[in-house]
Amino acid sequence: MWWSIPKKALITGITGQDGSYLAELLLSKGYEVHGIIRRASTFNTSRIDHIYVDPHDPAARMFLHYGDISDSEQINGIIYNVKPDEIYHLGAQSHVRVSFDIPEYTGNATGLSATRLLEAIRRSGNGIKYYQASSSEMFGASPPPQSEATPFRPRSPYACAKLYAYWMVANYREGYNMFASNGILFNHESPRRGETFVTRKVTRGISKILAKKDQYLYMGNLDAKRDWGFAPEYVECMWKILQNDLPGDFVIGTGESHSVREFVEKAFSYAGLDWSEHVRIDPKYFRPTEVEDLIADASRSKRVLGWEPRVKFDDLVKIMMDADMRASGLEPAGEGDRIIEKKFENKWWGCD
């Protein structure tokens, strides 16, 4: 009789948007999943509660470990004890606007943490594959479209920290022959997106206006343009990147760019509201330096990984609006729900 030993993955940032979807994806593929969570005075596991099984239960396949990505000692200990086959490093201070307020901490958590993990992998000598959550923010002021060959011109402490991590990955790959890859992901959103990122702020804000809990939504720069995709599809790419024959750097995005204003207009109109009556500008949301326009040229990833985005801008707005209306106790219009049903026959994530 033979059986296969399940692969083990370690995810930093498992409680975040991407970490939670990735954990579900890997569980659906039969992996044993380990995640690093930080201790907080309030619960921070709401995105993964629906997949949590008590570790005393023999059926448990997801295990959580307390740790902080700024603490090498603990990172080393977890990697030594878990002995994962793959590490997905998604943990970060991931908010660009906030990185201007806490630049040093962002450098530590978002940049140096990659070195901690890469060093721990190198010292373990176990051939662990490593995925780095790199970002389109690294392109910054470089005009679109942006591909793997586009020069980096970062415009925030966050982007500088991510760029440091990006180059450490490239150096460990070349210097120590490690399987270490950068996924250069453009913005990706979902009903699980953090509430202070622009898309979720808008869809959640509209739901509150509809529920008569708020009247206005205070926004920053409406002219910035982003290439917005759907997070579940992007975590599939993370997994594909580590299953590729060779490590490397991969741009992932939809190839469409829309302004924040367009997102606002579409979302308000889906809810039957006139955005100009409810949106106010508050300069506190402006950034000292802004990234004006991002459009992914993901042709290499499409070719090498066989990836094609299924959800683009219009669908994304509807999916997020339906979810936030439901969360506010309102009846959603339902177009977003139908898009998910139609485009994801074998939907592997739940609870949104």
- Residue 146 in the binding site for ligand NDP (CB under 6 A): no
Smallest Cα–Cα separation from 77: which of 87, 63, 66, 91?
Answer: 66
| Residues contacting 166, CB < 8 A, separation 6+ | 132, 134, 138, 152, 182, 184, 249
CA distance 253 to 205: 26
Window 201-240: residues binding ligand GDR (CB under 6 A): 201, 219-221, 224, 226
Task: Specify whether 270 is catalytic.
Answer: no
Q: Residue 93's binding partner, choosing from ligand NDP, ligand GDR, none, with beta-carbon cut-off 5 to 8 A by kind?
A: ligand NDP
Which one of 8, 9, 17, 78 is in contact with ligand NDP (CB under 6 A)? 17
Q: Considering only the stretches 13-21, 57-65, 74-82, 115-123, report the one whose residues sit in contact with ligand NDP under the rule CB under 6 A.
A: 13-21
Phi, psi of 35 (to 5 degrees): -130, 145
Q: How far apart are CA 298 and CA 79, in angstroms?
A: 32
Size of the site for ligand GDR (CB under 6 A): 21
Q: How far apart are CA 273 and CA 254, in angstroms?
A: 28
Residue in 135, 156, 181, 207 annotated catalytic: 135
Indicate whether 313 belongs to the interface with ligand GDR (CB under 6 A): no
253 binds ligand NDP (CB under 6 A): no
Q: How far is the CB of 137 from ligand NDP (least distance, A)?
A: 7
Could you say whether residue 285 binds ligand GDR (CB under 6 A)? yes
Rounded to whole angstroms, the Cα distance separating 133 from 181 reads 9
* The residue type at 217: L
Closest distance to ligand GDR from the beta carbon of 332 (Å): 22
Q: How far is the CB of 210 from ligand NDP (least distance, A)?
A: 25
Specify whether the CB–CB gap between 86 and 10 falls below 8 A: yes
Alpha-carbon distance 66 to 294, whole Å?
36
Which residues of the chain form contacts with ligand GDR (CB under 6 A)?
94, 96-97, 135-137, 186-187, 196-198, 201, 219-221, 224, 226, 260, 285, 287, 290
